[in-house]
Amino acid sequence: MAGRSAYTKKELEELRKRLIEERAELESQLTTIEETSFAASQSDLSGEVSFDEENADAGTFTFERERDLSIENNVRDLMGKVDRALARMDEGRYGICSRCGKPIEKARLKALPYVDLCIKDAQAQARR
Ligand SMILES: [Zn+2]
């Protein structure tokens, strides 16, 4: 009953590749969001229009900026998870639940390679 990691080298390499791809994808999403909101804030600063005229637009702008921010936060959050998963892989702790220390279900990791909790603990955490 040794097997610290239930994964073969080949499986780990595949999961690592997916994590790296995922990270690149998140990075490009982040760049897009940043470019969009930069452009938006530039155009917001450019014209010194009176507030009354711009009120409706300002409302839309705030809403869009807030939406961008929440997407941005989600992307950053996910990126952090991917980074931590890669770090765990380097330390040989990948695929082990960070709460109960049991192996995380393979099917779960194949669907979401960056998770660090088994299904049971993830559900327990979501309920809190
Ligand atoms: Zn667990």
Task: Give yes or no for a contact between 112 and 81, defined as CB atoms under 8 angstroms apart.
Answer: no
CB proximity list for 30: less than 8 A, separation 6 or greater: 72, 75, 76, 79
pTM of the model: 0.75
Q: Residue 99 Cα, ligand 1 centroid: separation in angstroms?
A: 5
Q: Residue 64 Cα, ligand 1 centroid: separation in angstroms?
A: 38
Residue 68: its pLDDT value, please? 86
Task: Give yes or no for a contact between 107 and 18, defined as CB atoms under 8 angstroms apart.
Answer: no
Burial class (CB in 10 A: 0-12, 13-18, 19+), 109: buried
Q: Residue 103 Cα, ligand 1 centroid: separation in angstroms?
A: 8
Profile the chain (128 residues) by mean pLDDT over runs of 10 residues: 65 95 96 85 61 62 83 95 96 93 93 95 91
Q: Residue 117 Cα, ligand 1 centroid: separation in angstroms?
A: 5
Q: Residue 124 Cα, ligand 1 centroid: separation in angstroms?
A: 9
